[in-house]
Amino acid sequence: MKDCDIKNLTAEEKIKLVMGKNWWESHDLGGKVPSFRVSDGPVGLRCLENCDEWTNDSLRPSVAYPSYQMLAQSWDKSLAYEYGAAVADDCMDMGVDIILGPGCNIKRTPRCGRNFEYFSEDPYLAGVFAKSFIEGAQESGIGVALKHYCCNNLETVRRWRSSDLDERTLREIYLKPFEIACEAKPWTVMSSYNLVNGVRMAENGALFTLLREEFGFNGMIMSDWEVVQDTEVSLEAGLDWEMPYCEAHEREREQLLKEGKIDLNALDECAGRVLALAQKVSEHKKTRKARRTVEERIALAQKVEEEAIVLLKNNGVLPLQSGKICVTGAPVRSYYYGGGSSAVVPNRPYVSLDEALKRSGVDAVYVDTITNFCMFEHLPKALQACKECDVTVFCVGTGNNVETEAKDRADISLIPEELEALRYLRKYSKKLIVVVYAGSAVDLKEVDALADGVLLAGFGGQCVSQAVANVLTGKVNPSGRLSETYANCLEDIPAEHAPKDEYHVKYAEGLNVGYRYFSSRGIGVLYPFGYGLSYTQFTYRDLKVMTEGAQVRVSVKVKNAGAVKGKEVIQLYAQELSPKVERPLRELRAFEKIELNAGEEKEVVFMLNKSELSYYSVEKKAWVFEAGNYIFEIGRNARDIALSQEMKLN
């Protein structure tokens, strides 16, 4: 098929081109132009046999990877690249050209129903992981749809609520991850359902212009599904592709054309970008080839989960030693995942945790604790097993009925039945380990108080049991770190006190999101951002900060002072000492994950541009770097600063 120039298409054909042919494909205009197919992909490929529907009835099995929440907890950018490349391989197998992901919205509050699809509360961490994922997928010849642009931080009433916030907060917190991700040149960006400052994102010409002119995005902007309300305004705003096909909207545009009211220049530009993408996809189809076998992709899914599991508490109970282990709780034999467009059907049978432990050589006994999440029919048997065993492993969590698209959680509590079972198990267990399967922060105060060990498995994909078993037994030394703060209670989170109604959400907390707020105010948390334990210990020394031209060079020596090999995440935070405007106490500016043998020491070097220390000036409509004194901190997490050094920068 030869390339078709947009000038050779009629206005009626262009109208067809600026919306989908069905639920998942672009229009080919009867074979006149190439078409492309898109598919959901927050935790793997959610691909349907039938392009005329959305429902899960015809889902094709695929590799179910750990959620983006877990990917970010690996703090390993190379894994994000590999993850993107592996999903691209899945796309090739199923004839999909563009994956609808990654999502890099900020976790403003843990109640957001889709937080498991997002990376972090921190814009830098979220942006870096999105960028690496995009590079991995697109270098394989599969496009991505960076989403959900922007300020999609709540799900309830998402089609009508306006996220209302000041310009500086918008730029520094909510747009920054998209700005970073756009460095990877995503083929498409998906607009979100919500409004921003009263303007529906599908019609937000100002933010679309910012995306193109300042962030350097040169691809196609698409809508989220069934979000377009005004076909004329969205077209003029620069929304290139409406999804899915809507007959009523096609007729509306055809009527506008007849009446001479449609903006023909806007139509040409939007249709031209859709056509350019279709032609790009057509060219890549000729050369793209899967880089990994399906089994290699499954192995990667397990590796990501192993790197992402966070050891939250360990009173010497882990790794497991010899002895008999009682394994109980609903997630042991049930696959926990997030709902909505993330409902991937795993392509391999789910392995239960007790089976995975047995395969690792552990004498594991499974006993039901809770039936259907609400009845304790098997609790006496479980308590008796706990008394007879050396260690109890109790699995708790949320799942797709709690964390899902289109609704938010009412609170962040575990279900009362699990907490009640926890109290009984504590009473009868010699040692108690709790494994948490949840896609976002949950209230773990009582879990932390009662358990000897706590492990966060999150939504770990189809290999979660194998990964958890390897961490519990010490075959894998845990190295995951939290990508969001676990507050002492929901009420401590400032966003929870911001004014809102059915039409507006006021981001009254401004920049005070996540650790920026808790660190600056000195408010205690249960587990801080960047937190995670290991089966070994690491020490830091010789922090050095110096300028090299326009850059700042920060170096530190890190040593594994323990007895086993392990991985450490070195986190670099910075703060301006006497800012002219209010700034957080510290902000993450760089990080690196390294592996060290017992007794081994390495030097880690970070290079920062001074522009990376800037803030957004609303008055100047620009990013501003202020000369002055800065403190550079090496942290084990956002609250545990190992070393710091002050440096004057001009």
Catalytic residues: 224
Cβ(403)–Cβ(409) below 8 Å: yes
Q: Tokens standing for 411?
A: 């609170």
Query: Which distant-in-sequence residues (6+ apart) come within 8 Å of 49 by Cβ?
Result: 58, 59, 60
Cα 24 to Cα 145, 243, 273: the distances in Å are 13, 8, 18
**Using CA of residue 551, residue 552, residue 557, residue 560, what is the dihedral sign?**
negative
Full DSSP string of 464-504? HHHHHHHHHHTSS------SS-EESSGGGSGGGGS-B-SSE
φ/ψ (deg, to 5) at 375: -125, 145
Q: Is 365 helix (H, G, I), strand (E, B) or coil?
A: strand
Q: Tokens standing for 428?
A: 């009868």
Q: Is 574 helix (H, G, I), strand (E, B) or coil?
A: strand
Report the DSSP pairing between strands 453-456 and 486-487: unpaired
Closest by CA to 494, choosing from 528, 520, 517, is 517
Burial class (CB in 10 A: 0-12, 13-18, 19+), 578: exposed
Structural element, H or E, at residue 210: helix 205-213
Query: Which distant-in-sequence residues (6+ apart) come within 8 Å of 37 by Cβ?
Result: 24, 25, 26, 51, 95, 96, 97, 98
Residue in the block written with tokens 């409509």: 621
Amino acid at 400: N
Beta bridge partners of residue 505, listed in sequence order:
163, 500
Cα separation, 353 vs 385, whole angstroms: 17
Closest by CA to 130, choosing from 140, 118, 121, 141, is 118
Query: Which distant-in-sequence residues (6+ apart) come within 8 Å of 650 by Cβ?
Result: 627
Cβ(407)–Cβ(156) below 8 Å: yes
Residue in the block written with tokens 């007849």: 258
What is the Cα 540 distance to its own chain's centre? 29
248: number of Cβ within 10 Å: 7
373: number of Cβ within 10 Å: 12
Amino acid at 24: W
What end-to-end distance do the CA atoms of the chain give, in Å? Answer: 57
Amino acid at 532: G
Cβ(647)–Cβ(551) below 8 Å: no
